[in-house]
Structure 1
Amino acid sequence: MTSQSSTAPGPTIRVGLIGVGNWAKHGHLRVLKLLHQYEITAVYSQRLSVSADIAREYGVKHVMQSVDDLVNHPDVDLVIVLTTAPQHADGVRAAIAAGKNVYCEWPLTHDVNISKELVDLAHAANVRHIVGLQRRLAPHNRYVHDLIQQGYIGKLRSVRIHVSMNYFQPSRSIALRWTVPPENFSSVIAIYAGHFLDMLFASTGWPNELSALVVNQFKEVTIIETGEKLPNSTPDQMVLTGRLADEAVLTVHIEGGKRNGSGVQIDITGTEGDLRITNRSAFGGAGDNYKVEGARGDNLPLQVLPVPDAYNQLPPSELPSSVLELAELYAAYSNDVRDGTKTAPDFSDAVRMHELINAAVTSSETGRHIVLAASES
């Protein structure tokens, strides 16, 4: 996971979008407009008027009447599934059946067994598959990975991460109503733990055992626009302890609905030095950039370690940091297509993360210490 080279000219990747909700508009459409490697050629939404508006704004040639029409269109090379988690499998299956490469947002599906089925289908069809765990490809994270690999901190001894956000309070917008039902696997733990633990473990390696406490403190959710009150059993906090390779200790705290002072802090301790990675925002708006600090030796103040320019592979823009992370994923995938490499996370990565979150829930419910499957190098 070293710094990636700037994207060189390659074949244009023609994409078709299934679903154009808030994150599609805030993130994907802006990224695809920024990156010259991509062209949006088709769009489908359950509301035709939404598709038509997107087509006018972004110059999309084809407004499709159905998912099947989109995935089978000859002008689509990559299908991008941007619906809610319970709807993902239908769009992904359709893309695979059409022999098209497919990107799906995280969570891949609401059920890990369905996600495993999609991995098998994609492999059988020999199509490329990508999942939206983009934070691992952020420049700061690739830099931290390389610092660890190059021995900056010596042997890894401990890793601690605290991620908190103002979102997922007991009062939520109607746009987040679908996050309430537990069967949708769309809680703060499913979404944010998935993103941030994937980011962390891409740098430090994965745990091989864990114990966890997963709790729900908001027993009822009120929809702000309508006043509707919904019983809520989805978790809003997770505390996890575990062990990485070579006996390194892992501590995780994911905390939704924090009113003030939220953000991200990661502390990485080694035998020779320390690293700290911080951000005032877990989501990442304009100016919410990660700061990497470090020191080698004893009782030294942490010094800012600027991320070298070589880790940035994007054209200049004013896009917010969360969107730039997504752009890094798209840039990585286009490089993979051009070079025959595999740097973009795929459905197998989604399955692995889903299994880890399930293991944390099982540990919390049973009080058991869970030994995980052997990690891959």
Structure 2
Amino acid sequence: MGRSHVRIVEDGSIARATAFDHVAVAGRLKNGAIASVQFRGAASRGDNLRWEINGSLGDLVLTSSNGNLQVADVHLAGGRGTATTVNSIPMATLPEVSAAPAAGLGANTFRLYEALALDLRRGTASVPDFCDALARHKLLAAIEEAIKSGTKQLIQSGQ
């Protein structure tokens, strides 16, 4: 689990830790690609969020100084072909949502909730929804079971 106790920022008191603060997962995706993911709860002096997707046609790198993707301002870079480095790639914006707040802590969450509200009104599906959230929770439950049991877990398609 990592730390057995944590300090509560608001009052300095100490509480027992009940959640993992460092998780490493390796597995094979449905298409046969190998994936490895590492998540840690502590802040880093470097990127606090770094996703790299490396493939035979190129590389994508998503970074942020904030490790909490829901509220992070992210930067996307990529390279392909004969490129030896990655270069900045402009991020797509969600259509028909307000521009405020454009950046900063929570701006990403604001834009997603606004787009979700638009989806609910129109019956469209442009952003992750509660079914996506359920699938992520099932994945986290499988990871937790793998940790407890020490055995590989199979995630069925659609979960």
Measured against the shorter chain, the TM-score band is 0.7 to 0.9
Report the equivalent of 2:86.
Answer: 302
1:316 is aligned, of 79, 99, 113, to 99
- Note if contact 2:73-2:105 (Cα within 8 Å) is conserved in structure 1: no
1:25-64 to 2 correspondence within 5 Å?
none
- 2:107 and 2:99 map into 1 onto residues whose CA distance is 10
Report the equivalent of 1:293.
Answer: 77
- 2:9 and 2:111 map into 1 onto residues whose CA distance is 34
- 1:331 and 1:292 map into 2 onto residues whose CA distance is 22
- 1:311 and 1:226 map into 2 onto residues whose CA distance is 39
Report the equivalent of 2:117.
Answer: 334
Query: Does 1:241 find its partner at 2:30?
Result: no
1:311 CA displacement: 4.2
**Residues 274-303 of structure 1: per-residue CA shift (max 9 Å, x gap):** 11111121247x9x6322111111352212
Q: 1:227 to 1:301 in 2, by over 3 A?
A: closer
- 2:9 and 2:85 map into 1 onto residues whose CA distance is 45
Paired residue secondary structure (1:292) = strand
> Any unmatched runs of 5+ in structure 2?
none
- Note if contact 1:221-1:230 (Cα within 8 Å) is conserved in structure 2: yes
Report the equivalent of 1:374.
Answer: 157
1:306 CA displacement: 1.5
1:272 CA displacement: 1.4
- 1:304 corresponds to which letter in structure 2? S
Give aligned pairs, total.
Answer: 158
| TM-score, scaled to structure 2 | 0.80
| TM-score, scaled to structure 1 | 0.37
Report the equivalent of 2:60.
Answer: 275
Paired residue secondary structure (1:371) = coil
Could you say which structure has the higher helix fraction?
1
1:61-80 to 2 correspondence within 5 Å?
none
**Residues 50-99 of structure 1: per-residue CA shift (max 9 Å, x gap):** xxxxxxxxxxxxxxxxxxxxxxxxxxxxxxxxxxxxxxxxxxxxxxxxxx
**Residues 315-347 of structure 1: per-residue CA shift (max 9 Å, x gap):** 333454442222222332333244322334333
Report the equivalent of 1:353.
Answer: 136
Q: 1:368 to 1:306 in 2, by over 3 A?
A: same
- 1:221 and 1:265 map into 2 onto residues whose CA distance is 25
- 2:86 and 2:44 map into 1 onto residues whose CA distance is 28
Q: 1:233 to 1:293 in 2, by over 3 A?
A: same
1:365 is aligned, of 148, 151, 156, to 148
1:356 CA displacement: 0.8
- 2:80 corresponds to which letter in structure 1? R
Aligned-residue sequence identity (percent) comes to 24
- Note if contact 2:47-2:63 (Cα within 8 Å) is conserved in structure 1: no
- 1:301 corresponds to which letter in structure 2? T
- 2:46 and 2:58 map into 1 onto residues whose CA distance is 27
- 1:330 and 1:299 map into 2 onto residues whose CA distance is 37
Q: 1:311 to 1:229 in 2, by over 3 A?
A: closer
- 2:141 and 2:13 map into 1 onto residues whose CA distance is 30
- 2:58 and 2:10 map into 1 onto residues whose CA distance is 50
Report the equivalent of 2:45.
Answer: 260
